[in-house]
Chain A
Amino acid sequence: MEETILKRWSRELTIAGAIVLFLLPLIGIPGKTYMTLTIAGLAMGMLLFLVASGVSIIFGLMDVLNFAHGALFAWGAYVGFTVFGYLMKWVEADSVLQNFAAFSLAIVAAMVVVSLVGIVLEKVIVRRVYGSHLFQILITFGATIVLVELIRVFWGPNDEVMTVPLTFSKSWDIMDIIINRYRVICIAVGLVVYGVIQLILKKTKLGTIVRAGVEDRDMVQAMGHNIFLLFTGVFAAGAALAALGGLTMSLFSLQVYPDMGGTYLLFAFIVVIIGGLGSVTGSLVGALIVGLTYNYVAYLVPWAAAGANIMIMIIILLIRPTGLFPVGK
């Protein structure tokens, strides 16, 4: 009896839980700091969404758990770093237009290069292990070793400082609440990407085919669509999302280093487990939860920041083993 009630009200309960979680830190944090932390948390959440959505989409359609996502993420950051290096004049200029030009060029370059890497990865390696989760994880893990080592070959093994475009690094001051501009840009980028993904999946013919592929792969193939081409495309799109996430995240944390993918891949896994593997909306919600908790806890109890998200993940796993927005298979 109790279980059915839990099931019937599960969505409302989750929403209520989320609101409580969202407001709970108000007890321990002064209002202005709370606002700053919330914006930082939302920005971080949006960036995590960019990483996690790639993992989630690739798993949802292709049934492939891509451990190489972290390496692709790092590649995106490094490609962006190189582009910024060439466009240093624009990056350091005190002009919004030039800053934006450099930022967009870096994003385009990172996404193009990394989706090419993703296509190669899918065609050469991942295609051979469809159907076996174990071998997918192993082989993409092997790809991670190679890709990270290639970063060391091309860009050197050291940490590099990422320069944020000048006008992005300034802050707005609204009623004594200090808002970093770049964080607002992060939130905007995240929302735009979420909108674009939803638009493509829900409103275009391609999206319909992809969603049908998630439901029943064989049937889509029987209808005359080349599912392998579709898979390569989805993998490339996931890689491009990883690159976008990597570039924006490196501007957020102000550095790039070869092993950076591992740390954020972990966050991405926590996000998709919380949100439900395969669901884009789930990734967004999960990412916001993770980003907000991380910032609140890091302010309240600094040493517990890394553990708090894992605790949330464990609690969610206990209550809803398939995540907040499960995708039926």
Chain B
Amino acid sequence: MAEATPVQIFHMEEKRRQYRSGGFFLKVGLLALFVLVPFLFPSFKTVDLAMQIIIFATLVASFDILLGYTGILSFGHGMFFGIGAYCVAFLVGKYGTPSYANLALGFVIAALVASVLALVISFLSLRVKAIFFAMITLALAELAIVLATKLSGFTGGEDGISLNMPGVLAVSFNAGNFLGLEITGRILTYYFILLACLGLFLAMLRFTHSPLGRVLQAIRDNVERAEALGYKTFVFQAISITFGCVVAALVGGLYGMWVGYVNPESCLGVLSIMLAILLMCIIGGMGTLYGGIVGAAFFMITETFLPDLQHLAKDFFPSAVLLHNVLERWHLVLGVLFILVVIFFPKGIIGSVREFIDRRK
């Protein structure tokens, strides 16, 4: 037998360690927590919060494929997310009856539209400089909002579109009581989306750990060297961008299913969605995929409980003016935090923690 290459040895080591490390149990525990959320905290608010965290964690992971693994900054990720949401909404809301086939078709169309658009954008922008990608996607994202608002006959304009789910996913569906929980269409939708997001996440993990993913990291770290080694960097970057954007579109469709309503502001907004994705990705840690979960959890939890926190602060510390002002100007705090993280912890929470653990070993 031929001697194992260093890469193979590394892989074998990795596999051997996989089931013994604390990280593995942490991941399984996290998944179990998300599975049990409807049973443990059946209130609408917590289930909704858990679902938002799951959806945005997957979305941020797909953004991370572009930013962290390919080194390309896109301001159009929210646009792809919105395209997915709109495609599904067209099929089961505006132009079709709610049926499983239409739902599936919606996701297929979302993936197709996203892949074509992503390829076109990569072709236009990557020929010159990678930074053109940021500028062009920003322009197209703004255009998408304008189109979604102006072509109101087609997209429903500012009012948006309501979605109706088919069969067991419908809001009115009820399968009775199971372990003290009403199994409604909403709960089933929760599990469907959880499963879909898990699948997408595993697919992304596979993608980044494949030989292709390693080439992408090589390109990110040193374009000239990767080119000199004979890789067509443009092709690899285009593949990665397309993959990330397709995942974003699919996640957008799932988001539409959960919220049951799609409009330009909530799905396409550069300032609302894109800013959230960027913050989550940077704070969680880019180039890790798991950073998305931490970032999304941090962002969503603070966003949900911020009004409560403000009330608490006013009730318990009526004299602490500084605290009130900080809570009132939450975006300012987030912005400063963002800059500090970029300067001092460019690897984000996950990356810094990993570095800390590695150093202690």
Q: Are B342 and A139 in contact (CB under 8 A)?
A: yes
Q: How far is the CA of A125 from the CA of B342 in the complex (A)?
A: 10
Q: Are A134 and B338 in contact (CB under 8 A)?
A: no
**Counting CB contacts under 8 A, is A96 at the interface?**
no
**Counting CB contacts under 8 A, is B136 at the interface?**
yes
- Identify which of residues 107-166 in chain A touch chain B, using a CB-to-CB cut-off of 8 Å: 125, 128-129, 133-135, 137-139, 141-146, 149-150, 152-153
Cross-chain contact of A150 among B131, B143, B332 (Cβ < 8 A): B332
Interchain pairs with CB closer than 8 A, number:
90
**Counting CB contacts under 8 A, is B183 at the interface?**
no
> Count the A residues whose beta carbon is within 8 Å of the partner chain — how many?
37
Q: Are A135 and B134 in contact (CB under 8 A)?
A: no
**Counting CB contacts under 8 A, is A314 at the interface?**
yes
Cross-chain contact of A149 among B132, B139, B282, B329 (Cβ < 8 A): B329
Q: Are A306 and B332 in contact (CB under 8 A)?
A: no
Q: Assuming A133-B131, A134-B71, A138-B73, is B329 touching A153 (CB within 8 A)?
A: yes
In the bound complex, residues from chain A placing their C-beta under 8 Å from that of B138 are 266, 269
Cross-chain contact of B282 among A129, A138, A153 (Cβ < 8 A): A138
**Counting CB contacts under 8 A, is A310 at the interface?**
yes
CB A216 to nearest CB in B, in angstroms, measures 19
Cross-chain contact of B335 among A134, A142, A314 (Cβ < 8 A): A142
Q: Are A266 and B339 in contact (CB under 8 A)?
A: no
Q: Which residue of B lies closest to A67 (CB)?
A: B134
Cross-chain contact of A273 among B136, B331, B339 (Cβ < 8 A): B136
Q: Are A307 and B278 in contact (CB under 8 A)?
A: no
Q: Are A149 and B332 in contact (CB under 8 A)?
A: yes
Cross-chain contact of A146 among B71, B143, B278, B339 (Cβ < 8 A): B339
Question: Hey, what's the 0/1 contact readout for A235-279 against B, CB within 8 Å counting as 1?
Answer: 000000000000000000000000100110010011001000000
**Counting CB contacts under 8 A, is B260 at the interface?**
no
CB A154 to nearest CB in B, in angstroms, measures 11
- Identify which of residues 272-329 in chain A touch chain B, using a CB-to-CB cut-off of 8 Å: 273, 303, 306-307, 310, 313-314, 317-318, 321-322
CB B195 to nearest CB in A, in angstroms, measures 33
Q: How far is the CA of A303 from the CA of B153 in the complex (A)?
A: 13
Q: Are B342 and A135 in contact (CB under 8 A)?
A: yes
Q: Assuming A142-B342, A259-B271, is B332 touching A269 (CB within 8 A)?
A: no
Q: Are B331 and A145 in contact (CB under 8 A)?
A: yes
Q: Which residue of B lies closest to A133 (CB)?
A: B131
In the bound complex, residues from chain B placing their C-beta under 8 Å from that of A138 are 73, 278, 282, 342
Cross-chain contact of B139 among A125, A128, A137, A313 (Cβ < 8 A): A313
In the bound complex, residues from chain B placing their C-beta under 8 Å from that of A303 are 150-151
- Identify which of residues 3-59 in chain B touch chain A, using a CB-to-CB cut-off of 8 Å: none
**Counting CB contacts under 8 A, is A234 at the interface?**
no
Q: Assuming A125-B343, A262-B270, A306-B146, is B335 touching A146 (CB within 8 A)?
A: yes
CB A298 to nearest CB in B, in angstroms, measures 12
- Identify which of residues 131-159 in chain B touch chain A, using a CB-to-CB cut-off of 8 Å: 131-132, 134-136, 138-140, 142-143, 146-147, 150-151
Q: How far is the CA of A128 from the CA of B150 in the complex (A)?
A: 42
**Counting CB contacts under 8 A, is A65 at the interface?**
yes
Question: Hey, what's the 0/1 contact readout for A2-41 against B, CB within 8 Å counting as 1?
Answer: 0000000000000000000000000000000000000000
In the bound complex, residues from chain A placing their C-beta under 8 Å from that of B151 are 303
Cross-chain contact of A321 among B128, B140, B270 (Cβ < 8 A): B128
CB A282 to nearest CB in B, in angstroms, measures 14
Q: How far is the CA of A65 from the CA of B73 in the complex (A)?
A: 12
Q: Assuming A153-B329, A273-B136, is B271 touching A133 (CB within 8 A)?
A: no
Q: Are A310 and B343 in contact (CB under 8 A)?
A: no
Q: Are A145 and B334 in contact (CB under 8 A)?
A: yes
**Counting CB contacts under 8 A, is B239 at the interface?**
no
CB B22 to nearest CB in A, in angstroms, measures 31
Q: Are A137 and B73 in contact (CB under 8 A)?
A: yes
Q: Are A273 and B132 in contact (CB under 8 A)?
A: yes
CB A286 to nearest CB in B, in angstroms, measures 13
**Counting CB contacts under 8 A, is B179 at the interface?**
no
**Counting CB contacts under 8 A, is B336 at the interface?**
yes
**Counting CB contacts under 8 A, is B124 at the interface?**
yes
Q: Are A133 and B130 in contact (CB under 8 A)?
A: yes
Q: Are B271 and A262 in contact (CB under 8 A)?
A: yes
Q: Are A137 and B131 in contact (CB under 8 A)?
A: yes
Q: Are A125 and B339 in contact (CB under 8 A)?
A: yes
Q: How far is the CA of A266 from the CA of B134 in the complex (A)?
A: 11
In the bound complex, residues from chain A placing their C-beta under 8 Å from that of B335 are 142-146, 149
CB A194 to nearest CB in B, in angstroms, measures 23
25 A-B residue pairings within 8 Å (CB atoms): A65-B131, A134-B67, A134-B73, A135-B342, A137-B134, A139-B343, A142-B335, A142-B339, A142-B342, A143-B339, A144-B335, A146-B335, A152-B329, A153-B329, A259-B271, A266-B138, A266-B139, A266-B142, A269-B135, A273-B132, A303-B150, A303-B151, A306-B146, A307-B146, A310-B139
Seen from chain A, the residues whose Cβ lies within 8 Å of a Cβ on chain B are 65, 125, 128-129, 133-135, 137-139, 141-146, 149-150, 152-153, 259, 262-263, 266, 269-270, 273, 303, 306-307, 310, 313-314, 317-318, 321-322
Given contacts A125-B343, A137-B134, A262-B271, 5 further A-B contacts (CB under 8 A): A135-B342, A135-B346, A145-B275, A145-B338, A321-B127
